Structure 1
Amino acid sequence: MPPSRRLRERIRGIVAGLAIASATVTAATAAGPRIASINLCTDQLLIALADPDQVLGLSPYALDKARSWMAVEAARYPLLSGEAEDVLELKPDLVLAGRYTKRATRELLKRQGLKVVELDAVRSIEDTKQQIIRIGDVVGHPERAATQIARIDAAVAWAREAVARKPVRVLGVSRRGWVSGGDSLTSSLLATIGITNAARDVNLKSSGGFASLEAIIAAKPDFIVVSEGDDFAEDQGRAFLLHPALQDLYPPDKRIVLPERLTVCGGPMLADALDRLVAEFERVSH
């Protein structure tokens, strides 16, 4: 058996063992706290780690299939307005929110005596792991958090081996020419598995910024990373990516398609994001 296949089989065995352990612990665990989420990213962590009957409601963005990795699963739960009133009616044991969720809403919930757990935006795989551990503890299922972290670690190991065969430089380009900087989750994914981010050659802030078409072309990345692979421009923001000059240099076989729902938040979806990166590199390498 080739080394890469042996590695993947061994990793799968580890993850499967953790999943069995998780199921065993879950069966013996009493009902956990009842929770409402008012943020897209906390929605997904809550669904992935909590029991269904712990989830009282999710943010109004939970069903957005373009941005929510768990949009299908979210359909079984009530949607909240994102305001404090309907959360208060539910009388949850705690509320999950993002640090940038509307401040007035968060403060009102706290004044009404609710426990609000606030999460920062993640910018790395390690940040993501810490949030998974934190929410696993909050919902009362740390064993599920361990399983999800094992999935991410397995995906990292597999992706590193797969992309190490051919070092490349890529540039993440979004609507209107937004380029992901070095201090971003997408850049962390790339760096972790050994892919060079060409953003440093575009002279942007560490978090990223808008780059001109000329600057992107001058950076000369081997591939550009985009969130969509179709050739339809519904507005001017999308039209930037379909500019003839960019299409000539970066046709479909020079574009790595990494859907936004896999990188807009940090969570278990990063394992899928890494698997998608490997699949895309295999596609463009043939």
Structure 2
Amino acid sequence: MPRAGARPMSDLRRISDAVAAAGLALAVAAGGIPAAGPAVPQRVVSINLCTDQLALMLAAPGQLASVTAFAQDPRQSAMADAARALPANHARAEEVYLLRPDLVLASDFTSPASLAMLRRLGLRVEAFPAATSLADVDAAIGQMGRALGRQDAAATMQARFRADLAALRADIPARPPRSALYEPNGYSPGPQSLAGEITAAAGFSDIAAEAGLPYGGTLPLEQLVMLAPEAIISPGPAPGTSRGYELLQHPALRNLRARGIPMPRSDSDWGCAAPQVLDAAGRLAAARKAAGR
């Protein structure tokens, strides 16, 4: 028989649990105990070419359920072979929902309507900003590691990325040869862009700055010829695409290339926040050194 005035054991247990919960909440708020983050996702769907490639590099076996069809195209993706082992999606909210993901990887440039619909359907969405610098690539690796619960793998990748970048920058000549990044329709990305930083890491300067285009813009072919860069860097031919590529075959541009440093084409490893951008820089640096520069 309980003593007179004694609380029943169930009441004492409820009070004890409440005190413990309150103490735990105070400890978390004070920083003494780390708050639990989102559960490690087990079924991840990527709906952006750049998140496709970085996820393919960092995801645990079986964690990535689908990537976009773009990731399977070697003209656009540096990870096409690995991507072909997974089902492809076309970034439509309805098909993504039917894949039953517990995490969707997207870009800030993914259709806002699609992102809003996925979130309304209760799906967790991680959106990545577009990379405009090599520092953004480093940051994207860390963000992907956190999103996938693969922080250790991401930290290892970041360390390798930083070491490789430092090695490239240590080999930049005192007088870098002048280069032009020249794309369809005469667009030049400019030095304050991811492509511009790739060429700088390879030991080239960018004449777009001389043309007043530090952040990129259209560089008329006539102005390009007058600036007379020592190297022209352009994408390879892309059959079935726009007529803008025809400018890259202009005789004046061919003459500039013939007189300058033979350069590799900008390729599928140029445009995304992934470690392959340093492979692109390495190819440029090798071409520069082969020309004695």
Q: Please indicate the TM-score interval, normalised by the length of the shorter structure.
A: 0.7 to 0.9
Query: Which has the higher relative contact order, 1 or 2, with Cα contacts under 8 A spaced 6 or more apart?
Result: 1
Which is higher, the Rg of structure 1 or of structure 2?
2
Query: What is the CA-CA distance between 1:252 and the residue it aligns to?
Result: 7.7
Give the one of 114, 121, 144 matched to 2:123: 114
Once residues 270 and 146 of structure 1 are traced to their aligned partners in structure 2, the CA distance between those partners, rounded to angstroms, is 18
- The DSSP-based 3-state class of the residue aligned with 1:61 is helix
For residue 276 of structure 1, the aligned residue among 276, 279, 283 is 283
Report the residue type matching 1:285 in the other structure: G
Structure 1 residues 39 and 275: alpha-carbon distance in aligned structure 2, compared to 1, 3 A threshold: same
Alignment match, 2:140:
131
Q: Check conservation: 1:233, 1:242, Cα contact below 8 A.
A: no
Over residues 145-181 of structure 1, what are the superposed CA-to-partner deviations in whole Å (9 max), with x where a residue is unaligned? 1222223223223322434265211110011211112
Partner of 1:264: 271
Where do residues 91-106 of structure 1 align in structure 2 (5 Å cutoff)?
91-106=100-115
Count how many residue pairs are aligned between Structure 1 and Structure 2. 255
Where does 1:24-103 land on structure 2 (aligned, <5 Å)?
A: 32-103=41-112
Q: Is the 8 A contact 2:168 2:201 kept in 1?
A: no
Indicate conservation of the 8 Å contact 1:152/1:270, yes or no. Answer: no
Matching of residues 154-233 of structure 1 within 5 Å:
154-164=163-173, 167-192=176-201, 194-204=203-213, 206-228=214-236
- Give the whole-Å Cα distance in 2 for the aligned partners of 1:62 and 1:253: 33
CA distance in 2, matches of 1:133, 1:168: 33
Counterpart-to-counterpart distance in 1, 2:108 and 2:284: 29
Tell me the CA shift for residue 280 of structure 1. Answer: 2.1
Q: Contact (CA 8 Å) 1:258, 1:273: kept in 2 or not?
A: no
Out of 139, 144, 160, which is 2:153 matched to? Answer: 144
| CA shift for structure 1 position 238 | 2.3
Contact preservation (8 Å) 2:261, 2:287:
no
TM superposition shift of 1:48:
0.5
SS at match of 1:237: helix
Instruction: String of CA shifts for 1:49-69, please: whole Å, max 9, x gaps.
Output: 001311111112111211111
Shift of 1:193: 5.0
Unaligned runs of 5+ in 2: 1-38
Alpha-carbon distance in structure 2 between the residues aligned to 1:117 and 1:235: 32
- Contact 1:258 / 1:277 at 8 angstroms: preserved in 2? no
SS at match of 2:180: strand
CA distance in 2, matches of 1:49, 1:231: 29
TM-superposition CA deviations, 1:25-55 (whole Å, max 9, x none)? xxxxx97532100000000111010013111
- 2: CA distance, partners of 1:53 / 1:142: 17
Unpaired stretches in structure 1, ≥5 consecutive residues: 1-29
